[in-house]
Structure 1
Amino acid sequence: MAPNIRNCNFVIGYACGLLAAICWAVGGLLFKYVQDAGADEVQIARCLLQYVLVLPLLSWKKERIVQADIKTNFFVLLRCAFGASADWLFYFALQFIPLSDVVSVISSQVTLVGLFAYICLKERCSIFEVLLSILTFVGLVLVAQPSFLFGFSRYGSHTDLTKGILISFAGAVAMSSAIVSLRKLGPGIHFSITMFHYSWIGGIFSLISASSKGILQIPCSYDLIMVCLVAISGIFAQVFMTLGLQKEKAGHIAVLFSTEIIFALILQFVFLSYIPTTIGLIGTLIIFFSSVCLTIKRVYSQRQVVKNQ
């Protein structure tokens, strides 16, 4: 590859990675301004908008929605189901705890991916990765600050704290599972196919969830605008992430995407006047540090493999 083309891909890839992180953080901030609508309404709006946008792309690329073999179809559906669940859990957790805390807990998926890949894909898991996973767990405890350890709660209701942390961690598990499923699929599946299946799976999941709670309703004019903006920011985040991964290595983009924690802290301080506690901030930075170290280690390992080939 010519140096000029390589440099251009480098700039585009890194710019897209940063834009994806910003879009996710902005989407979380916008959700905080939604008054009556919940995670179900946001996810339904996103799936509908994404479905409308991806149909022309599928037609233009002439991609097959159903693949030739059953195994590939299974992992495509698995990846989309886990991805839709992770996004729904992200919005749901925001109803209980601050944006930066949700982002911090979900960012632990960087270390969970290594564990799941070791179990499901038989990938190697070094001692360094295990130590970083332990460090991430310490960061999660500092973010959550459970009352049985710290003797106090940062929230008016300890139940909200427990719900928010558990839902966020479930989102991290779902996101990790989606990434492992994507690894299993390999690079042969165009992103428009996963976006298409994500739309109908996520829509059905949210409809069932809303119906079971009996609270699905069309938002008022203000909430409808905010819900659509949240959905659009989520779609743009996914598009920018995909474009970034096409231009630059996944490890490099993952480092940039983990900066979502920093953007979330800045946005909630500027617009929501929320100041995290010192302990919570330390926990957030520990999770961010662990994610960056783990990603850099993986990028270095990949380069060593390439050099030895």
Structure 2
Amino acid sequence: MTLQRISKDYLKPNYGLILLIVSYFFNSSMVVSTKVLENDPLETSQSRINPLQILLVRMSITYCCTLVYMHWNKQSVPDIPWGPASCRKWLILRGIMGFFGVFGMYFSLMYLSISDAVLITFMSPTLTIFLSFLLLGEPFSKLEALGSLISFSGVVLIIRPTFLFGEQTQGQEASQDDIVETQNPKLRLIAIGVSLLGVCGLSSVYIIIRYIGNKAHAIMSVSYFSLVTTVVAALGVFLIPSMTLQLPHSWKQWGLFLNLGVSGFIHQILLTMGIQRERAGRGSLMTYTQVIYAVFWDVVLFHHWPNIWTWCGMAVIVSSTIWVINMRASKQNVVATAELLSTSDFELDELEN
């Protein structure tokens, strides 16, 4: 089989999916860099970096990358640097919702393992369907509502509240494992709550990007997201007393910050391009590649395998979300077929008359 045949039969029809898979790899690279900066066991508590500072550095680098990209591609990117006037309010809203989405993830990484933090974001496709019902008037069935509740039960397995699972032992092994995930149930609950706020932000971003569509270049979405997040993070760092600005003090931290900015830019541009080119249902399924990346980083870097409750929560969340997505796709196919048949019947009647 020639390369031309492979490109024609496999690569081009799935170009959007390939972009999404690669984008999630760069997203996993950002996640693991954040985890190390926030919880590096070789650093003291005073030298570890807080989430807002990480966002400030990452997004400022990403925004500079968007400006360079737009400058080099003036001919193909219209209305630089602010985009079409009709889309600017939606681009600003995309930036605001994007901040909540990314902050939820970065905050939760202080207390949860990479795999747990990523798993919580898997509620986003189901929540996106629900928000589409509220904001866009799309149908939302009782079975889809049931799927949402099942997904939430998977989150409960990850939270492991004490009134259901009892107090966890705090032995030496547990204290060493605090680097990967906290054993304190209150801190886990706070982390989950902020993470769920991030899920709401991610779902809102998906809807906004789909609404904007091709009316604005993909780089505009990345530009507004990085600029708004930079501004909000800077205000938080300079106005909140506990969020003091701290410069990286080692080559390792500088390298991790550089990776955050570059990987963030690549992730956002590939993600936006992938969403614009791929149907929502198939595109949402690609988020599950993050499970592979997350478990890989947990095992390779921290020698931490997810426990039985996390595996159960993973199975519940992933299976219920796939079920909801497939159910929605089946309904859309039925509606499309019915419309096609009704159109054909109408044309047949016209011919007979």
Letter in structure 1 aligned against 2:62: Q
SS of structure 1 residue aligned to 2:226: helix
Residues 180 and 247 of structure 1, relative CA distance in 2, 3 Å threshold: closer
Residues 208-264 of structure 1: CA deviation (Å, up to 9, x unaligned): 111233311221232121122133222222222233334432321211122212321
CA gap of 1:262–1:91, structure 2 versus 1, over 3 A, is same
Paired with 1:162 and 1:250, the residues of 2 have a C-alpha distance of: 31
The residue that corresponds to 1:249 in the other structure is: 279
Distance 1:219 1:74 in 2: 35
8 A Cα contact 1:145 1:280, kept in partner: no
Q: Tell me which amino acid in the other structure corresponds to 2:91.
A: V
1:182, 1:107 → 2: CA distance?
18
Q: Quick one: structure 1 residues 58 and 129, their matched pair in 2 at CA, closer, same or farther if it must change by over 3 Å?
A: same
Q: TM-score, normalised by structure 2?
A: 0.79
Provide the C-alpha distance between the structure 1 equivalents of 2:26 and 2:295, rounded to a whole number of angstroms. 14
* 1:146 and 1:153 in contact (8 A); partners too: no
Could you tell me which residue of structure 1 aligns to residue 52 of structure 2? 40
TM-superposed CA distance for 1:66, in Å, is 4.6
- Counterpart of 1:53? 65
The count of residues paired between Structure 1 and Structure 2 equals 306
Equivalent residue runs for 1:146-295 within 5 Å: 146-153=161-168, 155-214=182-241, 215-221=244-250, 222-295=252-325
CA distance 1:295–1:232, change in 2 (3 Å): farther
Of structures 1 and 2, the larger Rg is shown by 2
Provide the residue aligned with 1:68 in structure 2.
85
Give matches, 1:17-32, under 5 Å: 17-32=20-35
For 2:77 and 2:306, locate their aligned partners in 1 and report how far apart those are by CA, in whole Å. Answer: 49
Which amino acid letter does the alignment assign opposite residue 195 of structure 1?
A: V
Larger RCO of the pair (alpha carbons < 8 Å, separation 6+): 1
SS of residue in 2 equivalent to 1:33: helix
Q: Which moved more, 1:139-148 or 1:25-34?
A: 25-34
Q: 1:112 to 1:57 in 2, by over 3 A?
A: same
- Residue in 1 aligned with 2:345? none
- Tell me, what secondary structure is at the counterpart of 1:240? helix
CA shift in 2, pair 1:16/1:259, >3 Å: same
AA in 1 matched with 2:16: G
Letter of the 1:278 partner, please give it.
I
Q: Greater CA deviation, 259-268 or 167-176?
A: 259-268
Inter-partner Cα distance in structure 2 for 1:255 and 1:248: 11
Rounded to whole Å, the distance in 1 between the matches of 2:267 and 2:315 is 23
Matched, 1:297 2:327: yes
Q: Is 2:27–2:264's contact at 8 Å kept on the other side of the alignment?
A: yes
Change (3 A) 1:153 1:104: farther
Question: Partners of 1:106 and 1:91 in 2: how far apart?
Answer: 12
1:89 partnered with 2:104: yes
1:199 to partner: Cα distance: 2.0
User: Relative to 1, partners in 2 of residues 1:231 and 1:160: Cα closer, same or farther, differing over 3 Å?
Assistant: farther
What is the alpha-carbon distance in structure 2 between the residues aligned to residue 156 and residue 135 of structure 1? 25
Instruction: Give TM-score, length-normalised by structure 1.
Output: 0.90
Cα RMSD, aligned residues only: 2.3
Give the letter for the 1:145 counterpart: R
Query: Identity percentage over the alignment?
Result: 21
Which runs of 5 or more residues in structure 1 are unaligned? none
1:95 aligned counterpart, secondary structure: coil
User: Judging changes above 3 Å, is the alpha-carbon distance between structure 1 residues 182 and 142 closer, same or farther for their aligned structure 2 residues?
Assistant: same
C-alpha distance 299-58 of structure 1, shift in aligned 2 (>3 A)? farther
Letter of the 2:36 partner, please give it.
Y
Contact 1:102 1:168 in 2 (8 A): yes
Matched, 1:122 2:137: yes
Task: Call closer, same or farther: CA 1:62–1:260 in 2, change over 3 Å.
Answer: closer
What's the CA shift for 1:93? Answer: 1.2
8 Å contact from structure 2 (residues 65, 265) kept in 1: no
Q: For the residues of structure 2 that align with 1:9 and 1:217, how far apart are their CA atoms?
A: 46
